[in-house]
């Protein structure tokens, strides 16, 4: 007879069949993280701030048949910081920037070699004061996947999003590979993310990169602004793989160049491509926020298949 654990794994293997054929031999169902920078200086000022972040990511596919699954889930984040330097000994208030994203899409397998995932990402991103249509943004991505070998997968795709600063898009090129001894893993989504790690026993050691641009509608003092976040995060990490059953604890330490630009609402670029802005005549309202060292703790509920 199957025990409870075996039944759960069998159920998830069937549920996630299209993902298993074209991905890792696991899926991170829930990921929760908290991070904080040490000291972010304002350019041209002696003042500084720190940035704290809280993130939660849920992925829950729904099987349609052996070749197709609906992708569902959600992403929540909160970033807290001072957007302006202190003046005349008076400390400026901290601002909370929230983002809630719905994940809805389709993952399909066409053959033993080819598959595809398309996901729509509608979101509400702002300080969550007087939520309106100005807080709503729509994004998404499409990924074509080619399984070269059992342990090597190539990815080709595109990510696009409407933001308060205008339309932004970037191509995606990457791959996933796992060494034959299952110790060295590479998970690449350039130019968005990189994860390279080595597992020994119950511990994993790795390097990660994450880069993204996003925006938040902002209403303060009867003024309508928005914040554009340009983030590049580089970190080394150590991971304990047996915190609880199927639960991983990861500690990261690194450097992040998180710049939060404040602009008048309605001022936009013509077009954003990767890290380049075209037709950008905007006037930034706050000083540039410099990067900082940061520390982050993540807890992951991972199901191996």
**Average pLDDT rounded to a whole number, residues 170-183:** 92
Q: Is it the case that residue 246 has pLDDT exceeding 90?
A: no
| Reported confidence tier of residue 248, pLDDT bands at 50, 70, 90 | very high
Instruction: Please report the pLDDT score of residue 77 as a whole number.
Output: 97
Q: Is it the case that residue 23 has pLDDT exceeding 80?
A: no
Instruction: Please report the pLDDT score of residue 285 as a whole number.
Output: 94
Instruction: Please report the pLDDT score of residue 221 as a whole number.
Output: 67
Q: Is it the case that residue 217 has pLDDT exceeding 80?
A: yes
Q: Is it the case that residue 12 has pLDDT exceeding 70?
A: no
Q: Is it the case that residue 114 has pLDDT exceeding 60?
A: yes
| Reported confidence tier of residue 278, pLDDT bands at 50, 70, 90 | confident
The predicted model scores a pTM of 0.88
Instruction: Please report the pLDDT score of residue 130 as a whole number.
Output: 84
| Reported confidence tier of residue 304, pLDDT bands at 50, 70, 90 | confident
Q: What is the mean pLDDT of the chain?
A: 89
Instruction: Please report the pLDDT score of residue 31 as a whole number.
Output: 96
* Residue-wise burial string across 19-44, b where 16 or more C-beta atoms lie within 10 A, e elsewhere: bbbbbbebbebbbebebebeebbbee
Residue scoring higher pLDDT (150 or 171) = 171
Tens of pLDDT, residues 65-111: 888 999 999 999 999 999 999 887 778 899 999 999 999 999 999 98
Q: Is it the case that residue 20 has pLDDT exceeding 90?
A: no
């Amino acid at each position: 007879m199957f025990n409870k654990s075996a039944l759960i794994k069998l159920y998830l293997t069937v549920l996630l069949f299209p993902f298993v054929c074209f991905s890792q031999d696991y899926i991170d169902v829930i990921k929760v993280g908290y991070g904080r920078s040490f000291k972010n200086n304002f350019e041209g000022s002696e003042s500084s701030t720190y940035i704290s972040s809280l993130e939660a990511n849920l992925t829950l596919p729904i099987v349609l048949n052996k070749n197709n699954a609906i992708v569902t889930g959600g992403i929540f984040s909160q970033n807290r910081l001072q957007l302006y330097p202190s003046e005349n000994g008076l400390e400026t208030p901290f601002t909370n920037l929230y983002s809630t994203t719905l994940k809805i899409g389709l993952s399909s397998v066409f053959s033993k070699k080819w598959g595809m995932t398309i996901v729509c990402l509608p979101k509400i991103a702002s300080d969550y004061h007087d939520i309106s249509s100005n807080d709503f943004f729509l994004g998404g991505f499409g990924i074509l996947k080619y399984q070269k070998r059992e342990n090597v997968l190539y990815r080709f795709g595109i990510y696009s999003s409407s933001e308060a600063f205008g339309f932004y898009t970037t191509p995606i090129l990457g791959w996933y590979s796992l060494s034959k001894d299952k110790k060295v893993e590479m998970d690449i989504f350039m130019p968005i993310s990189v994860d390279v790690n080595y597992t020994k026993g119950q511990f994993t050691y790795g390097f990660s990169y994450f880069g993204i641009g996003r925006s938040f509608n902002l209403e303060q003092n009867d003024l309508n602004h928005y914040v554009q976040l340009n983030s590049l995060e580089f970190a080394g990490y150590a991971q304990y793989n047996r915190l609880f059953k199927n639960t991983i604890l990861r500690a990261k330490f690194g450097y992040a160049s998180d710049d939060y630009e404040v602009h008048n609402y309605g001022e936009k670029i013509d077009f954003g491509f990767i890290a380049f802005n075209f037709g950008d005549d905007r006037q930034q309202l706050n000083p540039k926020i410099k990067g900082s060292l940061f520390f982050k703790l993540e807890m992951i509920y991972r199901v191996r298949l």
